[in-house]
Amino acid sequence: MSYRAILCLACLTYLTGTQAQEKKWVDLNQNGIRDLYENPDADIDLRVDDLLSRMTAEEKTKVLLNYAPAIPRLGIDKYYTGNEALHGIVRPGKFTVFPQAIALASTWNPSLIREVAAAASDEARGRWNELERGKRQHTRSADLLTFWSPTVNMARDPRWGRTPETYGEDPYLASQIGIAFVQGLQGDDPHYLKTVSTPKHFIANNEEHNRASCKVEASEQIIRNYYLPAFRALVVKGRAQSIMTAYPAINGVPCTANKWLVSDILRREWGFTGYVVSDCGAVSNMYDRHHYTNSYMEATVAAIRAGVDMECNGDCKECWTYSNFLVPALDKGLISEREITVAAAHVLRVHFKLGMFDDPDLVRYNSISPSVVGCPIHRQLALDAARQSMVLLKNNGILPINVKKVKTIAVLGINADKCEFGDYSGEPLNTPVSPLQGIIDRAGDKIRISTLPWDEKSQDYAKESDLAAKSDMAVVVLGINRAIEQEGRDRKSIGLPENQEKFVREICKVNPRTVLVLVAGSQLAISWEQANIPAILNAWYPGEQGGKAIAEALFGDYNPAGRLPLTYYGSLDYLPPFNDYRITNGRTYMYFDKKAVYPFGHGLSYTRFEYGNMSVDKPQASVGDTVRVHIEVKNVGQYDGDEVVQLYLREPQGDKERPVHQLKGFRRIHLKRGEKQAVTFELDREALSYWDADNHFVVRPGTYEIRIGASSADIRRRLEFRIEDRER
């Protein structure tokens, strides 16, 4: 059938559907519904068009503000966009606090992450309903149906202060975790969204010290292969309904004025139908920081024409571009009402999908009770997520702690008696559990737990050393916090702070049976610790139940199986300058050619896994074929436990821009002692293709090597297959 015939058939189908909707509407209108946009059974685009036809140009501009006022004559309530749900809802009030995003990525378990996001969105709807669906919510950036989460920028450099918010350095891992998170937030109702997910920051938002004026230089090949895939996955597969643009300029054009990114790629290539919101102050930054435009009004026009539907304004009210300059720009003829209408349509379409214009009884999410907030099920889920995120970095046999042999433990360090949640964290409704409290709760009746509060001012650790020396073993809980890494604050070094480094060395001197627990949101250069400390557990920022999960891992109640979503470098000397965005220049496990302290995907267990028979269903494949890979994994150790089976692909040699190998599949499986399981992976055309130097997605013919193992550096089995230069 020709394209024209298909188009005509589509038009006929649309018109037939429209006529049916109009007939249904006549029937409904007779039953007291006033306007078409109020008809819940009408086509959503017809409803949007009908509402827009009743709005003045100025009213349309009000929809495009993150603090959108009410329009009472049309039944439009105010809505204050800007809430966060990175690892639990931030405001208003108290909620369940789950482990930080980087910890969620360390579970390598998308199904669990979907549960976490679904629990968070349940709590959002529960609180929204408690506040009479927003009518009693008056705090800015605190309405509860839209969230600026998740953060899927690639964590390309350990200095970046927002690494804790991300899912790590690998596009595939970030995509899989991110898709699950978006789906959990937005729900599974065929007609209504539970909440809206807004992946951010589109794209390459990776520096804080100069973020308002950052200039990123990178080839389209690098952008397509590294900085865009996670966003594409969350839009195309996750069906995210909103996107936030980023502060930087990409090759000279600020993201918020970048038609190539927003209009060409996001909307035309990926089919995005939601709304685009600027990062806060990003529109005004185009004038006063990037100097890309000559005025705030020009910046406003540039953003609208690029496809940015909504502005998040910054702190300077005079710089609020959309609220101050949209109507004047319209009056001067610098933008058309049609451009305003298109932007308003994108925003309103999502609001209709949230059920904001329908009878509340029609939206099943409006029945979620406020009692879901902080409920026992969610508290347990926070514990499960913390358990699965724990990464055992090193263990020479000192763990798990044997309560029959150990009678005294000294628990020391800056993070021992604190609950560090990381940035964009809400306040927990449930009492949070610190590492110290978790250890006391777990072993206090069998083991004497001794501790001393951390003294920020001392370099004199005589008391702590004495306490450690008198104990059978020491658990030292160190790391970093928001004073060192967060939005607006990059790290200047990647080691432990100097006083902590000295502290742990002093403790190890007096008690060689020392376990280090790290509470942090990004990589730490801990070469000395890896060489000298018997066991190291990475707990990240583990959420409200983190202390309990840490104790369970230390005592073997839970067998840790988290895996690193980042490469741990020994020094910044091994990395290119912070502002070098060429990922191919020695960054991440894909291009780093030196020995890492811990490789991407690393994580130990209390048991051992053996990788057995491996096969591929198409040793000779054609371009476009899906290749299936099978491997057997057996638990040959003494504990039940989880293994994260990781598949990396090495492509045919020839393109110097391509990685050594790249993650293309993973599966977290649970095996009892002695149990064996077959694991299957599928490598489809998308997995086998990449963007080449000629700016095309291609599958290169040649010999590929499949590498399966327990980390990017611990490959257990290899198998080759070939792709012929033809397509069936």
| Residues carrying an active site annotation | 279
Which amino acid is it at 285? N
80 phi/psi in degrees, rounded to 5: -105, 95
Residue 632: Cβ within 10 Å count: 15
Structural element, H or E, at residue 25: helix 3-29
- Beta strand extents in 238-285 (DSSP E only): 242-244, 249-250, 253-254, 275-277
613 phi/psi in degrees, rounded to 5: -60, 135
Q: Give the span between the Cα atoms of 148 and 97, in whole angstroms.
A: 16
682 phi/psi in degrees, rounded to 5: -120, 130
641 phi/psi in degrees, rounded to 5: -175, 175
Q: Give the span between the Cα atoms of 89 and 117, in whole angstroms.
A: 10
Handedness of CA 557, 406, 638, 546 (dihedral sign): positive
- Please state the separation of Cα 146 from the chain's center in Å: 16
| DSSP at 571 | -
The residues facing 669 across adjacent strands are 643
Exposure of 307 in the CB half-sphere (CA atoms within 13 A): 22
Q: Give the span between the Cα atoms of 265 and 257, in whole angstroms.
A: 13
Residue 463: Cβ within 10 Å count: 12
Residue 339: Cβ within 10 Å count: 17
DSSP reduced 3-state for 682: strand
DSSP codes, 312-356: PP-S-GGG-HHHHHHHHHHHTTSS-HHHHHHHHHHHHHHHHHTTT
Give the residue among 638, 707, 640 at the shortest CA–CA distance from 677.
640
Q: Give the span between the Cα atoms of 439 and 441, in whole angstroms.
A: 5
Q: Give the span between the Cα atoms of 353 and 630, in whole angstroms.
A: 41
Q: Give the span between the Cα atoms of 360 and 610, in whole angstroms.
A: 54
Give the residue among 699, 694, 712, 690 at the shortest CA–CA distance from 228.
690
The residues facing 451 across adjacent strands are 411
Structural element, H or E, at residue 671: strand 662-671
